[in-house]
Amino acid sequence: MTTNKPVQRRIVSKDGHNNVRIDNVEGMVKLYLHDIWTTVVDMKWRYKLTLFASTFVMTWFFFGVIFYFISMGNGDFEEVLPSNHTACVENAKTLTGAFLFSLESQTTIGYGFRYINEECPLAIFTLVAQLVITGLAEIFVTGAFLAKLARPKKRAETIKFSRSAVVCRREGKLCVMVRVANMRKSLLVQCQLTGKLLHPKVTQEGEKTLVHQSSVNFYMDSSGECPFLILPLTFYHVLDESSPLVGLTADNLLTRDFELLVTLNATMESTAATCQSRTSYVPQEILWGYEFKPVLFSNNNSRYVADFSFFDKVQASADSMFLSNNTEKLKLEEEYKKE
């Protein structure tokens, strides 16, 4: 008989997406309309493509209806017309013809069969207004379209974090380690890995905070920044007295209630734009007494090779401190690695 393991609530998913649902916000639609640019840029692609197409179709139809009523008011649709009658829009006798004239005008196809007469100032004014208004609308929609394509968010998706974090010794100090890699050949410069520990806390006044944030400093060698990210790197956090994870042991790791949010901020060398990638680790994803397997090798051509088949693999630490860990804890970690 198998028992269901309790599901660990997460604020940030493994792929960096926000898991917090926003409810009962008064005037949400008004807030979104106030920042219409961000709203349009953040739209999903299916909605953005629909908006892109409907912007053209609706403006063609809207101004086509206006031209149709202008022609109707000018008497262009009468069965019997005076010999000296001048139509506002030549050869646009139906709503379909007015729609086609609007389409030809807005897309600058050029005039041939349908055209405006110079003796109809209202139609001329409407044409000018159409080109100005629709030009601004097309600039907005096309700009939002391109802005979504160029967002650094897509570049951040090519940054890979290790599936689990490990706890082992580094230079005699007990550390939490995570591995980060750049999956593209283009460099990421001025990289900085920061962490936040999200956990419940009770203040001295007795107020219970469901999610309290504490800073977790990660280092690589002697600093928190690396000049560029070209090789898979391991960042570590020292579990000393200043750490919010102080007191963490192999015995209480799985009973602790926290989420370790890890964020990598970097600048793209090609565009100088800043990108950010995130992931999080819950206690079940932190392996005590393990270390990452080497992922960087050299071949016969005097080149370094990063073998990503070893990126998420770990091995038991040879440190004597971890050899005395209880058997059940190691068994649980082995089960997690097999999942």
Q: Is residue 20 part of a domain?
A: no
Say what the pLDDT of residue 328 is. Answer: 46
Least Cα distance to 137 among 67, 66, 62 occurs for 62
- In this structure, the answer to whether residues 142 and 157 fall within a common structural domain is no
Say what the pLDDT of residue 3 is. Answer: 46
Q: What is the DSSP letter of 133?
A: H
Alpha-carbon gap, residue 67 to 136, rounded angstroms:
20
Query: Which domain-ending residue is among 150, 178, 201?
Result: 150
Q: Which residues contact 174 (CB under 8 A, 6 or more apart)?
A: 167, 168, 238, 239
| pTM for the whole structure | 0.70
Alpha-carbon gap, residue 222 to 230, rounded angstroms:
18
Q: Is residue 246 part of a domain?
A: yes
- In this structure, the answer to whether residues 170 and 35 fall within a common structural domain is no
**CB-facing half-sphere around the CA of 32: CA atoms within 13 A:** 10
Task: Check if the beta carbon of residue 288 is closer than 8 Å to that of residue 324.
Answer: no
Say what the pLDDT of residue 92 is. Answer: 85
CA triple 158-162-167, angle to 5 deg:
155
Q: Count helices and strands (H / E) in the chain.
A: 8, 16
Least Cα distance to 280 among 12, 54, 5 occurs for 12
For residue 251, how far is the Cα from the chain centroid?
Answer: 37
Tokens representing residue 128 in the block? 């000018």
Alpha-carbon gap, residue 258 to 241, rounded angstroms:
18
Alpha-carbon gap, residue 265 to 243, rounded angstroms:
21
- In this structure, the answer to whether residues 187 and 259 fall within a common structural domain is yes
- In this structure, the answer to whether residues 92 and 115 fall within a common structural domain is yes
> What is the block-wise mean pLDDT of the chain (339 residues), using blocks of 10 residues?
56 82 77 83 86 90 93 83 82 88 81 82 91 90 83 78 91 89 83 89 79 88 67 89 88 88 87 86 91 85 82 82 53 54
Task: Check if the beta carbon of residue 206 is closer than 8 Å to that of residue 264.
Answer: no
- In this structure, the answer to whether residues 213 and 94 fall within a common structural domain is no
Query: Which domain-ending residue is among 150, 176, 194?
Result: 150
Q: What range does the domain containing 294 cover?
A: 153-338
Number of domains in the chain: 2
Q: Is residue 6 part of a domain?
A: no
Query: Which domain-ending residue is among 89, 122, 150?
Result: 150
Q: Which residues contact 333 (CB under 8 A, 6 or more apart)?
A: 287, 288, 290
Q: Is residue 15 part of a domain?
A: no
- In this structure, the answer to whether residues 52 and 181 fall within a common structural domain is no
- In this structure, the answer to whether residues 186 and 329 fall within a common structural domain is yes
CATH of the domain at 260: 2.60.40.1400
Coil, helix or strand for 306?
strand
